[in-house]
Amino acid sequence: MSILLLSEIFPPRHGGSGRWFYELYRRLEPGTVTIVTQDNADPGDQRVDAEFPQRIHRIAMASQSWGLLSVTGFVLYARTLMRILRLKPNGVSQIHCGRTIPEGFIGLLLARLLGKPLLCYVHGEDIEVARTSRELTWIVNRVLRGADRLICNSQNTKSLLMEHWHVPAKKIEVINPGVDEQTFRPASPDPAFRKRFGWENRFVCLTVGRLQRRKGHDKMIEAIPQIKKEIPNILYAIVGQGDNYPNLLAEVHKLGLEDQVQFLNEIEDGDLIRCYQQCDIFILPNRSDGNDIEGFGMVLVEAQASGKPVIAGDSGGTAETMDNGTTGLIADCTNPERIADALLSVKRGMKEGRFQPDACRRQVLKALTWEKHRDRASKVFAQLGGSK
């Protein structure tokens, strides 16, 4: 089997889907995958490419428009397709696409030209955002109908495909993203780390993820005044970058919470892992922002693997990451009071002996490791075969 994967998002660029593909395809037999991804003009590209056991080609794939009716969008599809064809992909047996759009449409054109089967990953937010545009809806519909197999990150995403896009269940496989349980694991308290990050004598609640409205950082910030009444030493640490940063910073200043909210915009991978290990509670206060949803929530799995209880919003597929009531809580994260109630409930539960690190980690080891993920995905790839 020889696989061609098209994904604009791939390390060193941060993103849950990029991490998913990095962890999955590096575990397949070396030399059986060719990855075409975005050229980030970043020194990290060369480091990733040198260490990765599969071939990586980096080209310009990013665009401000994904629609066919705009000059920018049309050029994106035509130019990217031609660049991939120049790589002479005739020997591939199947084509995989990281998203339904734009990679899915490029992959569909390529699959038709080469007569090869097409597999496409579906994350939830991608197909929901596409529904806001008649043109994008048309493109995504072509991809969903033309793909031979669809892999969803959650049962929630599968439901969206069936209800909103009328995709038959037999075409869909649900495979939850996983975690490297050897990297994300519980650790003893590290006073030196906590001192370096200003976490000494603080009850640290951590969020990791892009600063987008659907991630819900703003509602957690609004919940802090209520949380402070019971946890005066609360510190909300936010790891991530994104367009919503100015709005979040303004909200912190407005509420006078400069001592309670910490933005960690740039952080090394090793320190990120220690943030998971040294925080007290992890929260992803996600909500639906129009059609933009959280498809699964890999960060919640990473936190539980690190032995931490988690809190997440009741939107999208986040409930599938945890054992609600045992390893964390699902809450209405559109409401700051509900967020505060959930966080205080988890803290009290920890004091009573609930939400223990071993229970959190067991939840992950049971079904959410990358090895289990690879085994499931490999079966799907084998079923897809090498020709149509």
The reply to whether 306 falls in a domain is yes
The upper half-sphere exposure of residue 43, i.e. CA atoms within 13 Å in the direction of its Cβ, equals 0
Residues 354 and 223 reside in one and the same domain: yes
Question: Ramachandran region of residue 193, left (φ > 0), alpha (ψ -120 to 50) or beta?
Answer: alpha
The reply to whether 105 falls in a domain is yes
Distances (CA, A) of 291 to 62, 63, 104, 127, 372: 22, 21, 20, 9, 31
| 227 residue type, one letter | I
The reply to whether 82 falls in a domain is yes
Question: What is the predicted pLDDT for the residue at 292?
Answer: 82
Residues 222 and 317 reside in one and the same domain: yes
Residues 129 and 148 reside in one and the same domain: yes
Give the structural domain span for 222.
191-367
Residues 218 and 198 reside in one and the same domain: yes
Residues 335 and 227 reside in one and the same domain: yes
Biggest alpha carbon–alpha carbon distance for the chain: 64
Question: What is the predicted pLDDT for the residue at 283?
Answer: 98
- Taking only the tens place, the pLDDT of each residue in 183-193 is 999 999 999 99
pLDDT exceeds cutoff 90 at 125 = no
CATH of the domain at 224: 3.40.50.2000
- Taking only the tens place, the pLDDT of each residue in 61-102 is 988 899 998 999 999 999 999 999 999 887 899 999 999 999
The model's confidence at residue 387, banded by pLDDT at 50, 70 and 90, is low
The reply to whether 96 falls in a domain is yes
Question: What is the predicted pLDDT for the residue at 265?
Answer: 86
Residues 212 and 272 reside in one and the same domain: yes
Q: Mean pLDDT score of the chain, rounded to an integer? A: 94
Judged by DSSP in three states, 295 sits in coil
Distance separating alpha carbons of residues 229 and 27, to the nearest angstrom: 48
Question: Which helix H or strand E contains 6, and what residues bound it?
Answer: strand 3-6
Residues 224 and 333 reside in one and the same domain: yes
Structural domain tally of the chain?
A: 2
Residues 308 and 247 reside in one and the same domain: yes
Residues 130 and 210 reside in one and the same domain: no
- Taking only the tens place, the pLDDT of each residue in 329-365 is 999 999 999 999 999 999 999 999 999 999 999 999 9
Question: What is the predicted pLDDT for the residue at 165?
Answer: 97
Nearest 5°: phi and psi at 179? -150, 150
Residues 356 and 374 reside in one and the same domain: no
The reply to whether 148 falls in a domain is yes
- Taking only the tens place, the pLDDT of each residue in 148-173 is 999 999 999 999 999 999 999 999 99
Which residue in the block uniquely carries the two structure tokens 């599969």?
Answer: 54
Q: Which long-range contacts (CB under 8 A, 24 or more apart) does 24-30 make?
A: 24/370, 24/373, 24/374, 24/377, 25/54, 26/52, 26/53, 26/54, 27/370, 27/371, 27/374, 28/3, 28/54, 28/374, 28/378, 30/54
Residues 17 and 127 reside in one and the same domain: yes
